[in-house]
Amino acid sequence: MNLKYNKELEQKYSYLSRTINEEFINIHPIQRGGLLTPEAHKALVAYADGYSLCDNCLKGRIDKIENPPVVDFLDDLSKYLNIENVMPTAAARKSKQITMSVLAERYPERKVVVVDSLAHYTTYLAIETNKLKVKEVPHKGYPEFKLMNEDFETIINQVREDEGELPLLVVLTHVDYKYGNYNDPNPIGEICKNYDIPFLLNSAYSGGILPIDCDDANIDFIACSGHKSMASSGPIGLLGFKDKYYDDVMVHSQIQGNLTNKSFSNKICTFMGCPPVYGAPLITLMASFPTIVKRTQKKFVEEESKKANYVIEKIQKIQDLKVLGKLPKVHPLTNVETKCFEEVAKSHPRRGFFLRDEFKERGILGLLPGISKEIKFNTYGLTWEQVKYFADSFVEIAEKYNLV
Amino acid sequence: MNLKYNKELEQKYSYLSRTINEEFINIHPIQRGGLLTPEAHKALVAYADGYSLCDNCLKGRIDKIENPPVVDFLDDLSKYLNIENVMPTAAARKSKQITMSVLAERYPERKVVVVDSLAHYTTYLAIETNKLKVKEVPHKGYPEFKLMNEDFETIINQVREDEGELPLLVVLTHVDYKYGNYNDPNPIGEICKNYDIPFLLNSAYSGGILPIDCDDANIDFIACSGHKSMASSGPIGLLGFKDKYYDDVMVHSQIQGNLTNKSFSNKICTFMGCPPVYGAPLITLMASFPTIVKRTQKKFVEEESKKANYVIEKIQKIQDLKVLGKLPKVHPLTNVETKCFEEVAKSHPRRGFFLRDEFKERGILGLLPGISKEIKFNTYGLTWEQVKYFADSFVEIAEKYNLV
């Protein structure tokens, strides 16, 4: 070993602390939905050790653990999402990768995945790592970046014509990372059903924030993210899938040791035995689940939309500022084009960092460092007092630079 | 949604608590090395939320985050293991799967992975999911289950003869899950070097417990487990690899959106962008790192071996009991064949569960439920007082059933 234990090492790693804490208002676009509930905080401390969830594992499979109630939980999740099966995965990206992989085995002649053009980079990487091809469905461009349902059908037909085969899969980003646009899965599910093409809803930003009914929307596969939108410490994803694909997903091991004859037919290859969510990721997801079910009820969802739309209304008086994406907001992830602040940055000694500084001085964290030409924020779960304070601070900063 | 929010749901998930806690002595075979350090406990609470580690991500890659010091940490880890590159993964099993996958791309004509016959099931699953074949190196059987270095060479030659190609990879289980046998990687590394075959050390049970020098042992790839042996909340694995394989592992994305022209050349396909270790898994591993470096120094390692060997010596007086695996112990994971207790279980009203009950009554947890014919335990990190109490309790239970 070239590394010796010393005081320097201790200094560097033994006192890790975080700047963003409860003293600040955190408006980080991808963090709001993942913040732990008080129940999850308690569970996290109780199950801090890596294999804590497996204390009473009797069957060698995390999805079969009864104490804590993992079996019940997966069953409840499947009711919640209204899809027949749910398995935990390492993350939503893994759920997408698995879906494409099992479909590529089932339909080896189909090589193209149709995705909306607001898809997350991990959707593209899932396609790439499965050696498949991407075909994008266009959006309508600035400023709304809207998807048109009929374009999905057009692209499906194009693929069929160009490839002589149907697409392997259609992926819809339920709420996208960039503009926070909400896309209704039902019309796309209907199209996929008519063409008999599997349909995946990527709900990494929405599952746990907005209600989802997979059966109603003809969704075959759904990818969720515990750490993004379900108040889990994570990383953890969910893969929901219809019974039709049960055997494709739940592939039991068949390998056998040539000398020992050891075999592992109980283990699922797709998840390498047990998906890597043994302790904190799964237990915090479970502990937050009652809150998740509660907060995706209509009245709470509408209240959260109101918060984002309130901020948007308040900041309209700022010059050279434009809210991007579809309005009014359904999901509170919001992208604002701030040419006004970009202009300020040009002559500010701190350049683009001035904006983050200004917010931080006012106790608000979560802005992308160095970026002044756009602000992405998320008001999810803030109190009304915090929402109002955030809107006021936004306007106050603009006033300071004579932009109102 | 078929699932409604109600009190029952709250009852089921909001109060999850763990039986194994600090009031008990936990001798669970796979848990001792993963128990958090006090520093990791603090970091866990501070970084409880899923994306907490990414507050200051400037480059869109977890391995490039400077605050907290991830870049430094990966560099320190590579010094610690003495291998040129280290990347985090979802778990050690994923590290093995990735290794085989990148080698299968590099050497498409090689189809066989040589493994010792004490390999973990996930080694087999990594082979299976990569559509490769397994070839086992025999062990010498009961009671030591010893591997012979020369057998590796024999099997390599057999593969070369049968397949007309070298094996793709040789995997050695540094310390195995079943008997806790320690296997010296150096002679196997030497053989692999001579035959020019990549060599993977699976150190899921040893990295963080025993010192490892990859360069000295000619190790090309190493798989470690943070939650098993490095005091991390996890799940998290490490993949260490030599520069020779840098481009094979660090495959940059090349996919491009056909309409948007979006590309993600900064993202690594192999890890789907960022490996799923964003918050608690990585931060707790980092916080425990100084302790890990310290505890793998010779004097601490020897002290831990002594504890296991102490228990073994004390229980020798029990009838019909045999310690399996190589002795004296190097790694404290111990497997004891307890025909004596199996005999008791036959007529006990609680059957095989009596043994776990007896230990639990004495404040000792972590035994496999329902199993009386063998006991797997791990004394790692127990105080000497706890070790002595455990040995005394073991003998006391035997005495109670007249087995001494």
Decide if A253 touches B, using CB distance below 8 A.
yes
CA distance B286 to chain A (A): 6
CB contact under 8 A, B264 and A14: no
Ordered per-residue pLDDT tens for chain A, 404 residues: 579 899 999 999 999 988 777 789 999 999 999 999 999 999 999 999 988 898 889 899 999 999 999 999 999 999 999 999 999 999 999 999 999 999 999 999 999 999 999 999 999 999 999 999 999 999 999 999 999 999 999 999 999 999 999 999 999 999 999 999 999 999 999 999 999 999 999 999 999 999 999 999 999 999 999 999 999 999 999 999 999 999 999 999 999 999 999 999 999 999 999 999 999 999 999 999 999 999 999 999 999 999 999 999 999 999 999 999 999 999 999 999 999 999 999 999 999 999 999 999 999 999 988 889 999 999 999 999 999 999 999 999 999 999 99
Decide if A20 touches B, using CB distance below 8 A.
yes
CATH class of A298-400: alpha beta
Of A49, A69, A212, the CB nearest to B233: A49
Given this model, what pLDDT does residue A221 score? 98
pLDDT tens-digit readout, B28-66? 999 999 999 999 999 999 999 988 898 889 899 999 999
Given this model, what pLDDT does residue B22 score? 75
Given this model, what pLDDT does residue B296 score? 97
Of A14, A232, A273, the CB nearest to B121: A273
Domain with CATH 3.40.640.10 in chain A: 38-295
Domain with CATH 3.90.1150.10 in chain A: 298-400
pLDDT tens-digit readout, B354-374? 999 999 999 999 998 888 999
User: Could you tell me which chain A residue has the CA closest to the CA of B260?
Assistant: A117
B370 contacts in chain A (CB < 8 Å):
58
Preceding omega of A143 cis (within 30 degrees of 0): yes
pLDDT tens-digit readout, B327-338? 999 999 999 999
CB contact under 8 A, A1 and B52: no
User: Could you tell me which chain A residue has the CA closest to the CA of B38?
Assistant: A14
Of B3, B125, B267, the CB nearest to A79: B3
Decide if A278 touches B, using CB distance below 8 A.
yes
User: Could you tell me which chain A residue has the CA closest to the CA of B259?
Assistant: A136
From chain B residues 164-203, the ones with a CB under 8 A of any chain A CB are none
Decide if A36 touches B, using CB distance below 8 A.
yes
Given this model, what pLDDT does residue A389 score? 98
Of A16, A255, A258, the CB nearest to B128: A255
B254 contacts in chain A (CB < 8 Å):
128
Decide if B250 touches A, using CB distance below 8 A.
no
Given this model, what pLDDT does residue B333 score? 98
Decide if A69 touches B, using CB distance below 8 A.
yes
Q: Give the percent of chain B with pLDDT over 90.
A: 93
Whether residue B1 is predicted with pLDDT greater than 70 in this model: the reply is no
From chain B residues 38-57, the ones with a CB under 8 A of any chain A CB are 39-52, 54-56
Decide if A148 touches B, using CB distance below 8 A.
no
Whether residue B86 is predicted with pLDDT greater than 70 in this model: the reply is yes
CA distance A377 to chain B (A): 14
User: Could you tell me which chain A residue has the CA closest to the CA of B370?
Assistant: A58
Model confidence band, residue B18 (pLDDT cutoffs 50, 70, 90): confident
CB contact under 8 A, B51 and A43: no
How many A-B residue pairs are in contact by the CB < 8 A criterion?
320
Decide if A373 touches B, using CB distance below 8 A.
no
Residue of B121, B145, B178, B365 for testing the chain A interface, max A β-carbons within 10 Å: B121
pLDDT tens-digit readout, B244-293? 999 999 999 999 999 999 999 999 999 999 999 999 999 999 999 999 99
pLDDT tens-digit readout, B164-185? 999 999 999 999 999 999 999 9
A1 contacts in chain B (CB < 8 Å):
79-82, 211-213, 296
Q: Provide the whole-model pTM.
A: 0.97
Domain with CATH 3.90.1150.10 in chain B: 7-30+298-400
A5 contacts in chain B (CB < 8 Å):
290, 293-294, 297
Decide if B126 touches A, using CB distance below 8 A.
yes
Q: Average pLDDT for residues B152-158, to the nearest whole number?
A: 98
CB contact under 8 A, B5 and A290: yes
Look up the ipTM and state it.
Answer: 0.96
Does the domain at B7-30+298-400 match CATH 3.40.50.12780? Answer given as no
* SS (HEC) of chain B: CCCCCCHHHHHHHCCCCCCCCCCCEECCCCCHHHCCCHHHHHHHHHCCCCCHHHCCCCCCCHHHCCCCCHHHHHHHHHHHHCCCEEEEECCHHHHHHHHHHHHHHHCCCCCEEEEECCCCHHHHHHHHHCCCEEEEECECCCCCCCECHHHHHHHHHHHHHHHCCCCCEEEEECECCCCCCECCHHHHHHHHHHHCCCEEEECCCCECCECCCCCCCCCCEEEEEHHHHCCCCCCCEEEEECHHHHHHHCCECCCECCCCCCECCCCEHHHCECCCCCCHHHHHHHHHHHHHHHHCCHHHHHHHHHHHHHHHHHHCCCCCEEEECCCCCCCCEEEEEEHHHHHHHHHCCCHHHHHHHHHHHCCEECCCCCCCCEEEEECCCCCHHHHHHHHHHHHHHHHHCCCC
Given this model, what pLDDT does residue B116 score? 98
Which CATH architecture fits B38-295? 3-Layer(aba) Sandwich (3.40)
Whether residue B343 is predicted with pLDDT greater than 80 in this model: the reply is yes
Model confidence band, residue B228 (pLDDT cutoffs 50, 70, 90): very high
Phi-psi region of A32 (alpha: psi -120 to 50; beta: other; left: phi over 0): alpha
User: Could you tell me which chain B residue has the CA closest to the CA of A14?
Assistant: B287
CA distance B82 to chain A (A): 6
Decide if A207 touches B, using CB distance below 8 A.
no
